[in-house]
């Protein structure tokens, strides 16, 4: 009788090992062997679950985004007021800066790989889609506020893009230098600025 293995579980373990290794060393410097070791398995086993390093990289992107989204969903659950949602959204973002540091470090590599080239790589498509989804989600909150009169905004999608950009840019800057600014002060200041700019 064949050994019964929870393939989905092991797959996730590999993904999480990959995240740690990639975040530590960077995608290009990271060796498959290191990923295997981090996952506590043999080199060849990784290839039973992912057919190449690229494939693993891609799968990790999906995995990470799914996890991130789930985190946001959970944290935003139950909040109905658009302004409150935005405030919470920003707060959660700042939380992730600290809690999901490795996550964002890996993201550097997606940006570096995905920004490049006109060839419509799978990664590029995914990255583009992920951004579009995020923009739409945030824009939807703003639009809801506009509708119920609690917010004012001519172009919710543009505002959403801008908010996301600020958050991205802040992790970037903060990860390059933890002393660049105080996270809490920045969160308060940013929340104020954004909410004020959307005030009716």
Q: Where do contacts with DNA occur on this chain (CB under 7 A)?
A: 1-5, 7, 10, 29-33, 41-45, 47-49, 51-54
Establish how many alpha carbons lie within 13 A of residue 173's alpha carbon, considering only the half-sphere containing its beta carbon. Answer: 13
Instruction: Check binding of 46 to its own copies (CB under 8 A).
Output: no
> What distance in Å separates the CA atoms of residue 121 and residue 114, rounded to the nearest whole number?
8
| Shortest reach from residue 53's CB to its own copies, in Å | 12
Other residues' Cβ atoms within 10 Å of the Cβ of residue 94 = 20
User: What gap in Å lies between CA 165 and CA 174, rounded to an integer?
Assistant: 14
CB of 13 to DNA, least distance (A): 9
The Cα 138–Cα 168 span in angstroms is 14
Q: How far is the CB of 124 from its own copies (least distance, A)?
A: 7
Among 7, 28, 74, 147, which residue interacts with its own copies (rule: CB under 8 A)? 28
User: Residue ranges of the alpha helices (H) in 78-155?
Assistant: 82-99, 101-114, 122-147
54 binds its own copies (CB under 8 A): no
Residue 154 to residues 88, 143, 146, 151: CA-CA distances in angstroms?
A: 22, 9, 9, 10
CA dist 126 and 121 (Å) reads 9
Name the minimum Å distance from CB 83 to its own copies.
16
The nearer residue to its own copies, 79 or 164, going by C-beta atoms, is 164
CB nearer to DNA: give 16 or 75: 16
DSSP string covering 39-56, please? Answer: HTS-HHHHHHH-SSHHHH
- Residue from 14, 89, 114, 191 touching its own copies (CB under 8 A): that is 114
Our finding on whether 161 is near its own copies (CB under 8 A) is yes
Using CB under 8 A as the criterion, which residues of the chain lie in contact with its own copies when the complex forms? Answer: 2, 23-26, 28, 42, 104-105, 108-109, 111-117, 124, 127-128, 131-132, 135, 154-155, 157-159, 161-162, 164-170, 172-173, 175-177, 180-182, 185-186, 189-190, 193, 196-197
């Amino acid at each position: 009788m064949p050994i019964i293995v929870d393939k989905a579980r092991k797959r996730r373990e590999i993904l999480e090992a990959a995240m740690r290794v990639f975040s530590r060393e960077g995608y290009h410097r990271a060796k498959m062997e290191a990923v295997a070791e981090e996952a506590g398995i043999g080199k060849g086993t990784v290839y039973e679950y992912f057919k190449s390093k690229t494939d693993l990289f891609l799968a990790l992107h999906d995995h990470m985004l799914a996890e991130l989204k789930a985190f946001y969903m959970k944290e935003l659950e139950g909040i109905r007021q658009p302004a409150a949602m935005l405030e919470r959204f920003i707060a959660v973002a700042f939380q992730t800066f600290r809690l999901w540091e490795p996550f964002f470090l890996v993201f550097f590599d997606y940006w570096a790989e995905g920004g490049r080239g006109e060839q419509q790589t799978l990664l590029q498509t995914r990255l583009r889609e992920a951004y579009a989804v995020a923009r739409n989600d945030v824009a939807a909150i703003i639009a809801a506020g506009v509708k119920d009169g609690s917010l004012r905004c001519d172009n919710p999608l543009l505002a959403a893009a801008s908010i996301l950009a600020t958050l991205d840019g802040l992790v970037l800057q903060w990860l390059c230098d933890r002393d660049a600014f105080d996270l809490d002060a920045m969160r308060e200041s940013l929340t104020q600025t954004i909410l004020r700019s959307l005030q009716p």
